[in-house]
Structure 1
Amino acid sequence: MNILIIDIDSLRPDHLGCYGYDRDTSPTIDAIAERGVRFDRCFVSDAPCLPSRTALATCRHGLNSGVVTHHGEGQRYDEPGNGHDPDADRMLAFRQLAENGIYTASVSQFTQRHLAYHFGASFQESIMPTATAGGPAIEDCSDVTPVAQSWLDRHADDDDWLLHVNYWDVHHPYLGIEDVVDSVRDSGSAPEWPDQAAIDDQQGMTGVRCADLWPSADQYGPDWLDFYDWPMPESITDRDDFEQLVDGYDASIRRVDGEIATLLETLERNGIREETAVIVTADHGEAFGEHGIYAEHAFPHPACQQVPLIVSWPGVTDDAEGEATDAQVYQFDLLPTICELADVPIPSGWDAEAFTPALSGDRFEGREFLVSGQGIYTFGRAVYRDQWMYVRLVHPGVFSYPGLYNDPDLPNDGLELLHDLEADPHMTRNLVASEPERTAEMRGLLDRWLVSQLSDEWHAQQPVESRGRDPLARTASTGPYLYADPDELLELYREHDRSDAQIEALTRTMAAFPRPTRNPSS
């Protein structure tokens, strides 16, 4: 069996037709879902990009791999093993497949963009589609697809391979969408929420990529704004501003969907479509108003941590075509599932667990609860159980949103949140104060999970200075300031006569979470 994994950066599931979206963003992905199984409650174990793809490549929580953020100590992968010998119980996920007869390759700039050697090293063949990565030299989907096509053409007659193809285009800036944006707009309405009342409520919060301040020429510089083909609002003050962002995002999904169609046509042309499993997923999602954040992955909530997972596997999903499961799974549970289906041993040291029964429509309960970490702009973890979501912020970064967090009238300085996702899917009400028993229950789940993870044998063997310590908490000492400098933001607020309440809120946060003197990116 051959396996094609399509990994789309920043893709939230509820903007796909197969997940119920009103707009025609994803006809190709929807067709894949019709031939496979869709997971409606799939979350990454760690977000965003670097922690998420590290988890996929290691099948381990960031707590156990060391990678929980994009900078400082929290970006460094703790390679298990001794000298030149890796730990066979914690083998890199795609390397485990390679060692058991499946040829593995990846077409992605990710390894270079995030200096993540361990990700590229997980594959036998790691291909950068362009010569550069990061900054203004961002690869376009039109750069990626021809490289992936060429690989598929060369390996069409081979047996047992896995190709990972990474598209970055759904991540802002939204480039090259002029030919598709009108048709996407005309195909359906933008989401009804946030309505104007919600947008009005979000004015006055502190932070970047929020309703009060999105990209600003003062903060990011005119060159940054010029980089955006698609005009981006400097703040979100009304529905027009919101729809401008969503139109660019949705059109980017449609553009990538067309590239996926080209890959499937390549499989068809080579006569191997029916012997190739096709999987569509993402590294994280994107907020569009949740907790006041727009077009960014900055908070531990479903907008960032919930991802699509669609598996179409000939001979396995045939009896469950078009079905969906609401069983909770981690995205990295995909790898042991592939191992089971390919008759590859699953290392004992992985945190991931196979969801194979769900693919054939058999009874599958999924995980009782999930813990998902967040590692840029804010540091924290969310716990998902049934309809409940509990958040503990380790560090709020530069964000404060009245009534939700960093509110002195709430317990624990407002660094805890509780939401009922069925009654309040947009998470507008924090129930910590009104639901103390439920809060205690969810808090206990997270505490016990942390203790069990940090008490295992591997952690006990670590150096004394890091033994039993949470890498997210260690990294929080430098603050989640890689993309948002609190001093610069405070100065910007003063220069532009922002409200006394905003200046006071940001000053209070900076006092509660002092910034170290050294550069956090060093």
Structure 2
Amino acid sequence: MRILYVDIDTIRPDHLGCYGYTRNTSPNIDKVAQEAVRFNDYYCSDAPCLPSRAALATGRFGIHTGCVGHGGINAEMRPEGKERGMADFNGRYNLPAVMRRAGMKTASISSFADRHAAWWFNGGFDETYNIGKRGLELGDEVIDLALDWLQRKESIKDWFLHVHVWDPHIPYRTPEEFGKPFENSPLPDPWMNEELLAQHRNSKPGAHSACEVNGYTPAEDIAHPRQITEIKDLSDFKTMIDEYDTGVLFADYNLGKMFDLLREQKIYDETIIIISGDHGECLGEKGAYCEHGEADYITTHIPLIIKWPGCPQNVESNGLHYNVDLLPTLIDMIGNIPPFKCNRVVGKPNPAVYDGESFAPCIKEGKNGGREFLVVSQCAHVCQRAVRFDNWIYIRTYHDGYHLSEADELFDVEKDPHEITNVASLYKDVCWHGAWYLEHWVADNMLSNIYNYHEDPLWSVIAEGGPFHCRGYLQNYCTHLEETGRGNLAKELSEKHPEEFRVSY
């Protein structure tokens, strides 16, 4: 059995042709999708990059692993304690470790572990390849390694290969010689208008806002000329979308080389191909530009395409699923995976306990199915939890990351997929419904914590000084706001975060 897991960083499903996008951003991915099951409501349980891949690899929520942020104690996995043997969970029960127990040669081509010091991610892989640019490598550099690996391993019949490309992630870095393929192409969904953009510029502060796309200042990124630094008008907005789409196309172009090699080796038809990502990207939604910093619909909604030989082709499956569900699903689909064996385990060997739930029938039969609701979190840029149910996403903000977000937000993602209008005040009963789901989810997961920790990592992040990506910026940012004629926003931020305004980290 051969499994190719394609991991596209910062990929929005609604910017792929197979999900209905009318720009030709993904011809190679779309071709795979024609032979696959496409999942329409698949979400990362914990955003962004580090927490998402922690959830994917372990099949566990961040509230259990403790890995919910990008810095501080909650950028780490919680220790297993006295029950840990010579091999920890990630050496025994995580995604690549399970694939290895199933008899596969396991390899990863990714700089993710290096970028985030997430060395646990390498657990279970026989081989890991790191280009060494910590996420700034181009797709062709990654795919060249993948092609070399596939050629060297051509005689191996059982493997699991994880290939990670970063091209849609900021800074937009597609080579200049690739051109500007969408420069003369109108936006497929011109949802942004001058009035909304002006509202974002005047009332939505914070990192990656319309006035400060790259962080807390509009500093130019000389090394990456494609990366826009400020959205002043609709022309800038289109440029941003064009460059994001170019990154998607460049990733797809290089992935196509890998799919073609599988065809040349005459193993494409029998190879299981899984295409997904870690999180999406707000491109103006909720006033965030080139950012994946909230627990909102756009950030947490990711594609999932599974081509499994012998299973339905060119079908879509509706139903709510998490990325933590993928590991139990693969266990079900592969079947008869031997248990972990080790003679040197302290106490009783810990059985594999996953938060994920298998959706194998959706792959085997191409039918709908999923959970009643999902709870997703973000603690790296803001501290939020959100509940996705029916046609709604309810977002509860505990720390706004200096964006002046409202504490409660509700969006109808079917009618308002770009999250333009917060309808929380109009549908209080729906908000209460979402809050009820959230309260019970937190209580149930704290009580069932598999690490026997009973501290909520979200509150640990707040106790450390707030989300990692905004710590220590408030005073200087407020000064910048005053100097750029937005003193009213500086005043509002300093009043909302008085302790953080006075503290210098």
Q: TM-score, normalised by structure 2?
A: 0.91
Q: Give the corresponding residue for 1:104.
A: 106
Counterpart of 1:387 in structure 2: which amino acid?
N
Say whether residues 1:313 and 2:308 are aligned partners: yes
- How does 1:315-394 map onto structure 2 within 5 Å? 315-316=310-311, 320-345=312-337, 348-394=352-398
Q: Give the corresponding residue for 2:279.
A: 284
Q: How far apart are the structure 2 equivalents of 1:307 and 1:188?
A: 24
2:122 maps to which of 117, 120, 123 = 120
- How does 1:191-202 map onto structure 2 within 5 Å? 191-202=189-200
Say whether residues 1:131 and 2:132 are aligned partners: yes
How far did residue 186 of structure 1 move? 4.0
Deviations 1:458-500 (A, max 9, x none): 25x3xxxxx32111111122211425611221111122232x3
Q: Which runs of 4+ in 1 moved over 6 A?
A: none
Distance 1:88 1:182, change over 3 A: closer
Secondary structure at the aligned position of 1:226 is classed as coil
Distance 1:458 1:360, change over 3 A: closer
Distance 1:181 1:510, change over 3 A: farther
Q: How far apart are the structure 1 equivalents of 2:213 and 2:382?
A: 16
Q: Give the corresponding residue for 1:408.
A: none
Q: How far apart are the structure 2 equivalents of 1:285 and 1:6?
A: 15
Secondary structure at the aligned position of 1:492 is classed as helix
Q: Give the corresponding residue for 2:481.
A: 493
Q: Give the corresponding residue for 2:50.
A: 50
Distance 1:83 1:510, change over 3 A: same
How far did residue 457 of structure 1 move? 5.3
Q: How far apart are the structure 2 equivalents of 1:476 and 1:356?
A: 38
1:82 maps to which of 81, 84, 92 = 84
Secondary structure at the aligned position of 2:5 is classed as strand
- How does 1:239-258 map onto structure 2 within 5 Å? 239-258=234-253
Deviations 1:24-47 (A, max 9, x none): 100001111111011110000100
Counterpart of 1:488 in structure 2: which amino acid?
N
Q: How far apart are the structure 1 equivalents of 2:185 and 2:504?
A: 50
Counterpart of 1:294 in structure 2: which amino acid?
Y
Q: How far apart are the structure 2 equivalents of 1:305 and 1:40?
A: 13
How far did residue 185 of structure 1 move? 3.6
Say whether residues 1:433 and 2:425 are aligned partners: yes
How far did residue 325 of structure 1 move? 1.3
Report the more deviating stretch, 302-311 or 168-177. Answer: 168-177
TM-align CA RMSD: 2.2
2:224 maps to which of 216, 223, 228 = 228
Partners of 2:110 and 2:163 within 8 A in 1 = yes
Q: How far apart are the structure 1 equivalents of 2:185 and 2:153?
A: 38
Q: How far apart are the structure 2 equivalents of 1:87 and 1:230?
A: 41
1:159 maps to which of 151, 157, 160 = 157
Partners of 2:315 and 2:366 within 8 A in 1 = no
Q: Give the corresponding residue for 1:145.
A: 143
Deviations 1:331-381 (A, max 9, x none): 232222222221155965111111111113354420110111112221111
Say whether residues 1:22 and 2:22 are aligned partners: yes
Distance 1:260 1:369, change over 3 A: same
Q: How far apart are the structure 2 equivalents of 1:181 and 1:351?
A: 44
Q: How far apart are the structure 2 equivalents of 1:473 and 1:481?
A: 13
Q: How far apart are the structure 1 equivalents of 2:174 and 2:418?
A: 30
Counterpart of 1:308 in structure 2: which amino acid?
P
Counterpart of 2:213 in structure 1: which amino acid?
W
Partners of 2:90 and 2:97 within 8 A in 1 = no
How far did residue 148 of structure 1 move? 0.6
How far did residue 190 of structure 1 move? 4.5
How far did residue 121 of structure 1 move? 1.7
Counterpart of 2:122 in structure 1: which amino acid?
G
Gaps of 5+ in 1: 406-413, 462-466
Q: How far apart are the structure 2 equivalents of 1:446 and 1:357?
A: 27
